[in-house]
Amino acid sequence: MGDLASWETSGGAVASDPRANFERLWVEYGLSDALNVRFGKFQTPVGRWNLAPAEPFVWTPTQPASVELGLDEHSTGVAIFGSFHPEDRVVSYQVFGQVIDTFDVESDESPAERSVGVRLEYGEARGAWSFGGAVLANEKNGAWTTQGALDAKWRATDRLELTSELHVSSGDIPGRDFWGVFVEAAYPLDRVSPKLARLYLVGRAEHYDAADGRAAQIFDFGVNWLPREWLNLKAGYRAVTHENAELASGLHASFSVLF
């Protein structure tokens, strides 16, 4: 449930448009670790950020521009996925496609009508590091666009966590040509003092470049606090070098209740 309230600092207007929508809704049959079949509405598995946008994996109250502006976050269709475990490594795959119109579309979304893609990931079994890549072809009104993504994660035990993604999209669908890259870091402040337990310092640097001339360097930094295991409070500031209607500098905050 979202859009409870928004406040525009320039005009001082407060707006409220509460609504509920289904982020994910599917049925799934698991034959084994190596083979699972899913049908319904799920996160489009391109890049790392969009794999599971759940706390505390998503550290900031804002999304990277390449995810927010350049990716259909959801697909309604079929996904076949699984993982293999050679020694202390994990190899995962996903083959997926949009086969029917997206279910429960947000008012500001204009998703592709059909799509097909594949994702591969290789990493350490305990999650200390991993590398991934994906290719996705989208179709809308008879036009096609192809998007590719590379991502990486590295985490020192109970210390610094680094995440990076590169997205490139090109084709014939209007407004979908862009490239973007970001690097994000999260650092637990209990390494500085035990009194700061469950408090994290977070920062993200990003470049986003759309084919229509929109290009910007974007810097997000702030804090993430988990006072309880089920509650996540986030606050941060976004600085944008070239602002527009979709990318603007300002303060952001959010809270999440974890189930």
Tell me what pLDDT residue 105 has: 82
Amino acid letter, 172: D
201-217 pLDDT, tens digit per residue, is 999 999 999 877 778 99
Q: DSSP label at 72?
A: -
* pLDDT band (50, 70, 90) for residue 145: very high
Residue with tokens 């970001």: 182
Which residue did the predictor score with more confidence, 145 or 127? 145
Output the pLDDT for position 182: 96
Partnered with residue 80 across adjacent β-strands are 37, 95
Please compute the mean of the pLDDT values over residues 141-168 and round it to a whole number.
Answer: 91
Please enumerate in sequence order all residues whose Cβ is within 8 A of that of 245, keeping only pairs 6 or more positions apart, or say none: none
pLDDT for position 57: 61
Domain ranges of the chain: 6-257
**pLDDT, position 24:** 86
Cα 115 to Cα 142: distance, rounded to the nearest angstrom = 12
Over residues 166-188, the pLDDT tens digits come to 999 999 998 889 999 999 999 99
Average pLDDT of 110-134? 93
pLDDT of residue 17: 81
Token pair recorded at residue 83: 């993982």
Q: For 2-60, how does the pLDDT look when each residue is reduced to its tens digit (9 = 90+)?
A: 778 888 777 778 888 887 888 889 999 999 999 999 999 999 999 888 887 654 567 88
**pLDDT band, residue 156 (cuts 50/70/90):** confident
Taking every pair of C-alpha atoms in the chain, what is the biggest distance, in angstroms? 59
- The 10s digit of each residue's pLDDT in 56-96 is 567 888 889 998 888 898 999 999 999 999 989 999 999 99
CA dihedral sign, ordered 43, 72, 91, 164: negative
Cis amide bond preceding 53, omega within 30? no
Buried b (16+ CB within 10 A) or exposed e, 155-169: beeeeebebbbbbbb
Phi, psi (deg, nearest 5) at residue 140: -150, 125
Concatenating the DSSP letter of every residue in 107-130 gives TT----SEEEEEEEEEEETTSSEE
For domain 6-257, the question of CATH label 3.40.50.12500 is answered with no
For residue 158, give Cα distances in angstroms to 118, 142, 185, 186, 199: 32, 49, 13, 11, 12
